[in-house]
Amino acid sequence: RKEVEQDPGPFNVPEGATVAFNCTYSNSASQSFFWYRQDCRKEPKLLMSVYSSGNEDGRFTAQLNRASQYISLLIRDSKLSDSATYLCAVILNTGTASKLTFGTGTRLQVTL
Amino acid sequence: GAVVSQHPSWVICKSGTSVKIECRSLDFQATTMFWYRQFPKQSLMLMATSNEGSKATYEQGVEKDKFLINHASLTLSTLTVTSAHPEDSSFYICSARLLQETQYFGPGTRLLVL
């Protein structure tokens, strides 16, 4: 089983729509959780960290469910510029190093 | 502005040659640097973790003799792909971190081996 799993999509949504992505992780000892955005042929850029209490940044809301080991990202009022691949990532501290492990990413295409 | 740079941004080489990629942290000293590889439509896969002044720790399945990592200073790590072959063609991305703080990614290096 992969450490971090995501539905690859693509999710095709019209402008203004609300879209949600889920991500599951296999190791219950994972400590930190993130959503990254990656545009085509570019490096990933941190979108937001994810906390159990949930956190919101403008149109983006992230949530962590430790019991079920999943992370979600909700995008409200989608814009054309939101089109990208969204990667969830977790940090697992192995004792000698903490490693950031990525899911395969979910591709979002926002259309007119 | 960018906090991690990579050079070169792209490289095309013949099969059998070695390619060196540099990763530099700008304006901060990185205690740990990471090297990732991303094939088309796939996720970033961690290749190795390197701490300044010590040997890199490679992930399972990554050949340490093929992917040589040198982390000689707190601001520079290099990845050398030795005797590159077409299957090594990929997007190589480094990232740098100070202690347990935010991990910053470089812009990546696109390698094409003919």
**Mean pLDDT on A11-33:** 93
Question: pLDDT confidence of A96, banded at 50, 70, 90?
Answer: low
Say whether B108 and A104 touch across the interface (CB within 8 A): no
Q: Is A22 on the interface with B (CB under 8 A)?
A: no
Average pLDDT in the A101-105 region?
A: 92
Give pLDDT, residue A73.
97
Q: Above 70 in pLDDT, residue B91? A: yes
Q: Are A11 and A111 in contact (CB under 8 A)?
A: no
pLDDT in tens, A51-88: 888 899 999 999 999 999 999 999 999 999 999 999 99
- Report residue B46 as tokens: 């961690």
pLDDT at B97 over 90: no
Cis link prior to B107 (omega < 30° from 0)?
no
A94: pLDDT strictly greater than 70:
no
pLDDT band of residue B1 (cuts 50, 70, 90) is low
Q: What is the pLDDT of residue A99?
A: 84
Identify the band that residue A48 occupies on the pLDDT scale cut at 50, 70 and 90. Answer: very high
Is the pLDDT at A95 greater than 70, yes or no? no
Pick the closest to residue B85 from B53, B114, B51, B48 (CA basis): B114
Query: What do you get for the CA distance between the two ends of chain A, in Å?
Result: 37
**Count, residues in chain A:** 112
Task: State whether B95 and A100 contact (CB < 8 Å).
Answer: yes
Chain-chain contact of B46 with A46 (C-beta, under 8 angstroms): no
Residue B5 is predicted with a pLDDT of 95
**Which residues of chain A have a CB within 8 Å of the CB of B34?**
99-100
Q: How far apart are CA B73 and CA B14, in angstroms?
A: 30
Q: How confident is the model at residue A31 (pLDDT cuts 50, 70, 90)?
A: confident
Give pLDDT tens digits for B12-71.
999 999 999 999 999 888 888 999 999 988 889 999 998 887 889 999 999 999 999 998
Q: Of the candidates B32, B42, B105, which has its C-beta nearest A43's C-beta?
A: B105
